[in-house]
Amino acid sequence: MVKGMKEIRCAVIGYGMGKFHSEQIEQTNAMKLVAICDVNSKRLEEAKRDFPQINTYQSVEDLLAHEDFELAVIVTPHNTHAPLTLKCLKAGKHVIVEKPMCITVKEAKAMIETAKQKGLMLTVYHNRHWDGDFLALREILQSGLIGEIFHVEMFGGGYHKPSWAWRSDKKASGGLFYDWGAHYLWWLLQIIPHEIQSVTGSFHKIKWQDVSIEDHVQAFIRFANGAIADVQFSTISAETKPRWFILGTDGAIVSEENQFRIKFFVNGNPAETKIPYRQSNWHEFYRNIANHLLHGEELAIKPEQAMKVIAVMEYAERSAKSGGKALSLPQ
């Protein structure tokens, strides 16, 4: 909690997607946007037009040295998440960092340990925790309609050349898994909260040679309770599959356009129903942050959970490089 504060002063670092974050901050009525930092001067000019009241900076060092604020929001390429987070934490700032949290488990541990040492909040912008399909899915699973989950398949992608933006740069982004994969794995680890027993990975680089990220990635995850998950992302899949395919001991769930199709049993007889997705509520992320800092509300997105997402992606790639060996995650 920020004792004695009625409003949290925020600085956004990176004004690409940072504009969206800035708008979300201003809509809370409990946070105040005071500064934006970006290395691109044209983006800073745009930021000043959008938010005339703010101060602008071209370096994080200048921001930390001259601006008075409590919360840093880091919206920059993935490989900068860890160093910028550590710099802000060491300067005494609470931190929200865009997903994915970072690139490696080593980085994540350093971020978490530093936040604890400083007594500061650290969280990750997993806004899709409040996506309409995931909200509906959690309600279905909590009802017990399909029993206990034992098998999950998740798919994202299609057949398309990756863009030339930094997300297609392996060094900057971490790879194909580190984009939508962070969202999918966050969802998966919420619906199967058991410890991860092992991760096996398969990575392909066979088509788009003028970008450095992979063409197709896959993680096969085995949980301590025996459940398994197969998560795939592709830019060379000429045919697609449902985002969600879930088997439970008493039924199944398959995602369709804007709804879930559910098969279950009533007195031993098969039955089927369809449940529409709920409305997404991304505003809940910043509402939770404001209430956490001002009133002590429990943090919805805990950094230790976000680190597990990084662990799965990192160790899936390690497994692929080792020839597909099943690897245990670090504790």
Task: Specify if 84 maps to a domain.
Answer: yes
Task: Specify if 256 maps to a domain.
Answer: yes
Of the pLDDT bands very low, low, confident and very high (cuts 50, 70, 90), residue 3 is low
Task: Specify if 114 maps to a domain.
Answer: yes
Tens digits of residue pLDDT in 168-203: 999 999 999 999 999 999 999 999 999 999 999 999
Look at strands 8-13 and 71-74 and give their pairing: parallel
Q: What's the domain range around 83?
A: 8-127+282-301
Same structural domain for residues 89 and 229? no
CATH code of the domain containing 148: 3.30.360.10
Q: Determine the pLDDT at residue 189.
A: 98
7, pLDDT greater than 80: yes
Same structural domain for residues 218 and 141? yes
Task: Specify if 20 maps to a domain.
Answer: yes
Q: Determine the pLDDT at residue 163.
A: 84
Same structural domain for residues 247 and 141? yes
Same structural domain for residues 102 and 199? no
Query: How many structural domains is the chain composed of?
Result: 2
User: Are the beta carbons of 95 and 122 closer than 8 angstroms?
Assistant: yes
pTM: 0.96
Same structural domain for residues 79 and 145? no
Task: Specify if 331 maps to a domain.
Answer: no
100-125: average pLDDT = 98
Task: Specify if 231 maps to a domain.
Answer: yes
Same structural domain for residues 55 and 143? no
What DSSP string describes 280-331?
Answer: P-THHHHHHHHHHHHH-PPPSS-HHHHHHHHHHHHHHHHHHHTTS--BPPP-
Task: Specify if 1 maps to a domain.
Answer: no
Encode 24-42: b = buried (16+ Cβ within 10 Å), e = exposed.
Answer: bbeebebbbbbbbbbeeee
CATH code of the domain containing 114: 3.40.50.720
Tens digits of residue pLDDT in 294-303: 999 999 999 9
Same structural domain for residues 88 and 139? no
Q: Determine the pLDDT at residue 4.
A: 57
Distances (CA, A) of 25 to 12, 29, 59, 109: 10, 8, 21, 27
Q: Determine the pLDDT at residue 40.
A: 96
Q: Determine the pLDDT at residue 141.
A: 97
Same structural domain for residues 210 and 187? yes
Q: Determine the pLDDT at residue 6.
A: 79
Same structural domain for residues 193 and 119? no
Q: How far is CA 218 from the centre of its chain?
A: 17
267-292: average pLDDT = 96
Tens digits of residue pLDDT in 195-231: 999 999 999 999 999 999 999 999 999 999 999 999 9
Same structural domain for residues 133 and 208? yes
Task: Specify if 2 maps to a domain.
Answer: no
Same structural domain for residues 182 and 294? no
Q: Determine the pLDDT at residue 269.
A: 95
Same structural domain for residues 137 and 201? yes
